[in-house]
């Protein structure tokens, strides 16, 4: 015995609960700047700790008057605890919406009135009767005023439970902590009623002690087990819901476990209705995407949803989800909307193609001006020579001049036609570079009586070449074919496209008479225009080499950069 108090073993659970609640309050106090909901929770646990202290001291008190004092001390903190708990729930469910300064003042008014009634109101306003029963428990008969505040407190509790139920239904990520807190609240209130109504109860189990333990344990589990005061899970959830990329989580059997709002919009489904459904049903609008996923394909690929102007393009990324034992727990599918990116790329490509064609036309205009100027100058000289010979009564010589004039103008005519055809082909237009090159080869074969063949390595497409590269490459091939027509005396020309190590290798091979490259290199210009080909290739980071021998045909070897590395390795 210590003064007027006796500390029995039945007191220690309530005292331990009071200390735990105080510790939880200190923890919430440390997080008050991170999470606004922690501030009312600090007040709720402070009031609850004082309430528990009153319970402990009431049970330990020996004198009836002391017991009644600590009983009244408990009652003072009951309504503040319930009010602060409601403030926490409102801020937890509706951050920054309902817990305004005005609402806090309105909620504080009944608390202040109840405090005045219990502390300064006297027995007429607060209690009709307060006495200590034979079992050592305080027996209280409420006055009408206190009965009103008690009913008000029950109303706050009902609002608390209603908000929790709303949050349970509307927010799946809050369901477990909400359920635990609601169960602990209901159990706490039920045990409180048992304790205050003097309901028969086993002597070994104190309802007040059980109420304190259950309430403390419930909120401790929600606080530490589900980190309700940790902003990271809420921020992570908000980020997932706000992100534009679709995220779908599947179990090992490819059944939907979860998906964010963006994925729900992409698949035209709802998050609640999609859970448990197979991937084939959810992703049916994406063609064979579900089949490719089920086949174990972990490559990133692009799929298109819809057609025409409303088509959307999505880039997929698949990841396996494994636990610490490296066992498969599920799959993660990310759908990245690249529609605007593809449209922007197409617009940039179109602008680059237009710019490349304009530059090429400007260059061709200069080349035609120089070449046609030379042809016209030569034609003028031949015509003057023929006229002089006719005046000198030398028709045979004049005929030779005219024959040379006809040959020069025919060559010029052929060159102009090839320039025009090359300009039309340009960077491929709507056909694309390689189809346009194929069409050009067919026209060249029909015009010159040669057999042409285009061989393209598998996987190599027009998109592998930038627009300026396409233009220069088309002109290099055109110039090589012009040389074949003028000088090669060939029957067949083969154009081959290959790729290796991030570069494209193009060869133009003919079966003509060939020539000696060394003798051509020493001549000024060289009729094969090697310098012309090299300049064009160097403008876009490429190179050109010519391999030939008399009687062995000619091979023009071109090396060009490509824009992406698809299918690296040996040439196909």
In the chain (572 residues long), the average pLDDT of successive 10-residue segments reads 61 71 73 70 84 82 85 86 90 83 90 80 62 75 74 89 89 83 85 69 66 78 77 65 84 87 84 81 82 74 74 85 81 85 74 70 65 73 78 79 76 66 55 84 87 91 86 87 84 93 91 80 53 83 90 91 56 35
**For residue 499, which of 544, 550, 562, 556 has the smallest C-alpha distance?**
562
Q: What is the CATH topology of the domain spanning 349-425?
A: 1.20.5
pLDDT at 13: 67
Assigned architecture for domain 243-337: 2-Layer Sandwich (3.30)
Size (the chain), residues: 572
pTM of the predicted model, to two decimals?
0.48
Domain boundaries, the chain: 9-235, 243-337, 349-425, 430-572
pLDDT at 559: 93
Q: Where are the alpha helices (DSSP H) in 246-303?
A: 261-267, 271-274, 279-282, 289-294
pLDDT at 527: 45
Give the residue carrying structure tokens 């902590």: 177
pLDDT at 453: 93
pLDDT at 365: 67
Domain 430-572 class, CATH top level: alpha beta
Bridge partners, residue 321, by sequence: 330
Question: Residue 460 in 3-state DSSP?
Answer: coil
> Span 9-235: which CATH code?
1.20.1070.10
**For residue 513, which of 475, 464, 471, 550 has the smallest C-alpha distance?**
550
- Per the structure block, which two tokens stand in for 163? 């908000």
pLDDT at 560: 92
Name the strand (E) or helix (H) holding 319. Answer: strand 312-322
pLDDT at 78: 86
8 A C-beta contact, residue 528 and residue 512: no
Burial of residue 192 (number of CB atoms within 10 Å: 0-12, 13-18, 19+): middle
pLDDT at 448: 84
């Amino acid at each position: 015995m210590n003064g007027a108090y006796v500390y029995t073993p039945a007191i220690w659970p309530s005292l331990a609960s009071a200390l735990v609640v105080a510790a939880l309050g200190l923890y919430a106090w440390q997080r008050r700047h991170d999470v606004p909901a922690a501030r009312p929770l600090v007040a709720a646990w402070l009031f609850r700790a004082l309430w528990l202290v009153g319970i402990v001291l009431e049970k330990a008190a020996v004198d009836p008057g002391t017991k009644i004092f600590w009983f009244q001390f408990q009652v003072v903190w009951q309504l503040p605890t319930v009010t602060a708990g409601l403030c926490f729930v409102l801020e937890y469910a509706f951050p920054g919406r309902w817990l305004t300064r005005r609402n806090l003042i309105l909620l504080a008014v009944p608390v202040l009135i109840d405090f005045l009634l219990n502390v300064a109101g006297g027995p007429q306003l607060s209690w009709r009767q307060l006495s200590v029963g034979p079992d050592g428990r305080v027996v209280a008969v409420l006055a009408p005023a206190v009965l009103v505040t008690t009913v008000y407190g029950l109303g706050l509790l009902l609002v608390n439970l209603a908000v929790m139920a709303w949050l349970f239904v509307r927010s799946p990520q809050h369901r477990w902590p909400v359920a635990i807190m609601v169960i602990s609240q209901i159990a706490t209130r039920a045990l409180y009623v048992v304790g205050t109504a003097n309901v028969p109860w086993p002597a070994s189990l104190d309802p007040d002690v059980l109420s304190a333990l259950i309430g403390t344990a419930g909120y401790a589990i929600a606080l530490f087990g589900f980190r309700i005061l940790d902003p990271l899970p809420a921020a992570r959830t908000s980020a997932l819901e706000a992100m534009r990329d679709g995220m779908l989580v599947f179990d090992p059997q490819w059944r939907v476990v979860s998906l964010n709002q963006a994925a729900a919009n992409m698949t035209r489904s709802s998050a609640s209705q999609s859970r448990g459904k197979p991937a084939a049903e959810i992703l049916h609008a994406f063609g064979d995407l579900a089949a490719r996923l089920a086949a174990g394909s972990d490559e990133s690929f692009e799929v298109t949803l819809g057609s025409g102007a409303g088509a959307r393009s999505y880039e997929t990324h698949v990841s396996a989800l494994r636990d610490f034992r490296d066992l498969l727990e599920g799959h993660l599918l990310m759908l990245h909307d690249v529609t605007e990116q593809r449209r922007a790329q197409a617009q940039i490509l179109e602008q680059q193609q237009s710019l490349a064609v304009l530059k090429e036309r400007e260059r061709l205009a200069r080349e035609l001006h120089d070449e046609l100027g030379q042809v016209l100058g030569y034609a003028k000289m031949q015509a003057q020579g023929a006229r002089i010979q006719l005046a000198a009564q030398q028709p045979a010589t004049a005929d030779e001049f005219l024959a040379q004039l006809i040959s020069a103008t025919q060559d010029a005519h052929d060159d102009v036609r090839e320039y025009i055809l090359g300009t039309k082909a340009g960077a491929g237009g709507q056909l694309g570079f390689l189809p346009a090159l194929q069409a050009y080869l067919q026209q060249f074969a029909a015009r010159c009586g040669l057999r042409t063949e285009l061989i393209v390595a598998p996987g190599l497409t027009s998109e592998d070449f930038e627009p300026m590269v396409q233009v220069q490459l088309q002109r290099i091939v055109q110039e090589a074919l012009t040389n074949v027509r003028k000088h090669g005396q060939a029957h067949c020309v083969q154009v081959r496209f290959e790729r290796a190590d991030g570069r494209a290798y193009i060869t133009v091979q003919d079966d003509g008479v060939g020539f000696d490259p060394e003798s051509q290199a020493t001549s000024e210009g060289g009729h094969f225009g090697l310098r012309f080909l090299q300049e064009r290739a160097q403008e876009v980071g490429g190179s050109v080499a010519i391999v030939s021998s008399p009687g062995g045909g000619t091979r023009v070897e071109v090396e060009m950069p490509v824009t992406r590395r698809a299918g690296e390795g040996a040439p196909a």
